[in-house]
Amino acid sequence: MNTVPSSTLPQRKGARRREDIPAEVLRGLNEGWLATVNLTEWLAIDMALLLRHVLRQLDHPDLEPILGSVADSLASAGVMQRIEGIGTALHTAFQAHPDRSVMVEALATHPADTVRQWANYMIVADPNLSLAERLSVTRRFAADEHFGVRECAWMSVRPFINADLEQGLALLRPWVRDPDPNIRRFAVEGTRPRGVWCAHISALKQNPDLGLSLLEPVRADPSRYVQLSVANWLNDASKSRPDWVRALCDRWHVESTTKETAWIVNHALRTLRKG
């Protein structure tokens, strides 16, 4: 297996516009030896080029014609469609391959965050997995050090949670009590009634009370990362059930007199204040 070169570039904040990304940084992103540091860099990646580099790095240039053509066909699709499409294609290519487990681990631990996102989708694409198994294998990505991998983690399993919402909510209840704030945040963000870059969960839009068992344990969470997700969950719900959100925030304000709950409630009501 070929090694990925180490980055000698200084730490960076990331360009605000694609045209301002330094050529050496863009090369590192497209060759897989640099991780992105912001959304601009993530959106700038040529995934077809990156996939070809990764296949060579992992000693599978034989799959370049097939997988490369899939990536090429997705070039005009949205970024999440490209990530899911490449992940699904990797699953198909390695479904019965003797190197599957080695390849999965190599992709899941790759230095490029986009490649780890492919790995997540590659794993959950297995139709034989139960919802519990999908959540279990996604946990490592939910706890990833990179923000982009964590975002793709909840997006990868959200459709399966939506398809079996009662079981999904039950399986996620222990997650909101986990010591890792990334895991707690995953459970909340992955069940937002409206969400971002994903389909809505109609049942939670109409009856947000179904998600209360996930929200109550984190109503005074010490992590701002989790607080923001809880507030956004409630803000989503306020667009279809303002009465429910107002009543819940009033109750929390009385029952939990912490600065954390106060911040969540204030941010949760931002849309209702505008109305």
> What's the confidence (pLDDT) of residue 3?
55
| C-alpha span between 109 and 86 (Å, rounded) | 17
| C-alpha span between 146 and 48 (Å, rounded) | 21
| C-alpha span between 113 and 43 (Å, rounded) | 12
> What's the confidence (pLDDT) of residue 197?
83
User: Mean pLDDT throughout 144-164?
Assistant: 97
Query: pLDDT tens digit string along 199-223?
Result: 999 999 999 999 999 999 999 999 9
Query: With bands split at pLDDT 50, 70 and 90, how would you rate the model's confidence at 12?
Result: confident
Helix axes 147-163, 131-142, angle to 10 degrees: 170
Query: pLDDT tens digit string along 219-256?
Result: 999 999 999 999 999 999 999 999 999 999 999 999 99
Query: Between residues 86 and 2, which one has the greater pLDDT?
Result: 86
**41 burial via Cβ count (<10 Å: 0-12, 13-18, 19+):** buried
Residue 5 has pLDDT above 90, yes or no: no
Task: Decide if domain 160-275 falls under CATH 1.25.40.290.
Answer: yes
Amino acid at the residue 95: Q
| C-alpha span between 190 and 105 (Å, rounded) | 24
Q: Mean pLDDT check: name the lowest of 2-11, 42-51, 151-160.
A: 2-11
**122 burial via Cβ count (<10 Å: 0-12, 13-18, 19+):** buried
User: Mean pLDDT throughout 190-194?
Assistant: 97
Query: With bands split at pLDDT 50, 70 and 90, how would you rate the model's confidence at 11?
Result: confident
> What's the confidence (pLDDT) of residue 80?
95
Residue 8 has pLDDT above 80, yes or no: no
- For the chain, the structural domain boundaries read 1-128, 160-275
Specify the DSSP class assigned to residue 61: G
Residue 190 has pLDDT above 80, yes or no: yes
**Run of H or E including 250:** helix 242-255
> What's the confidence (pLDDT) of residue 244?
98
* pTM for the model: 0.93
Residue 134 has pLDDT above 60, yes or no: yes
Residue 10 has pLDDT above 80, yes or no: no
Specify the DSSP class assigned to residue 175: G
